[in-house]
Amino acid sequence: MRYEMRRLSVGDDEAVYEMLQEIPVYENGFENNMNSRSFAEFKEWLRRCTHPVIMDEWGNCCTPQAFFWLYADDFPVGYGLIRHDSADKPSIPVGIAGYVIRPSQRNKGYGGKLLGMLVEEARKLNIDKLMLTIQNSNAASLKIALHHGGIIEETTADKTHIAILC
């Protein structure tokens, strides 16, 4: 099988749109704002997201971020993002990562593949540490993060905060 991680692009097509329709709006702490949106809204979202920043409600830039699609044999199976965040320790470049696999493609090893590729991308972005917040009920993601060298930094009643050194 051939894997490829592609950066979000305004040229993304209906295959990506269909994947986003399959991924729930909110699941395991991951928010998919494109579920139940029209294809035209999806294309507008792509246009806005090609600018690598998060905008607040007033249009001010908040945090640089990048979206990536995971393809397996040219079929989109999931997506992830990396946000730059060095507010806690400005001397240590920190990123926040999140990822999701479309429900029909789960339990096939794609989550581990995608997280590994996100760690590699973080290195290219000069990020030294990736932080993940994983719902305690999401045993698969917890296992994947630990397999990739994740270190548990904090656990609450419902979430675990894991750091992966890049």
Q: In this structure, are strands 94-101 and 151-155 parallel, antiparallel, or unpaired?
A: unpaired
Q: Once rounded to an integer, what is the mean pLDDT over residues 77-99? A: 78
At 58, is the pLDDT very low, low, confident or very high (cuts 50, 70, 90)? very low
The pTM score is: 0.87
How does pLDDT run across 1-53, given as a tens digit for each residue? 999 999 989 899 999 999 999 999 998 878 888 999 999 999 988 887 776 55
User: Which CATH number characterizes residue 118's domain?
Assistant: 3.40.630.30
**What total number of domains does the chain contain?**
1
**What letter represents residue 51's amino acid?**
H
In order of 104, 138, 149, 150, 154, the CA distances from 157 in angstroms are 29, 13, 23, 19, 10
Structural domain including 84 reads 3-165
63: helix, strand or coil: strand
How does pLDDT run across 103-118, given as a tens digit for each residue? 999 999 999 999 999 9
Q: Which residues are bridge partners to 151 per DSSP?
A: 163
Residues 162, 153: contact at Cβ < 8 Å? yes
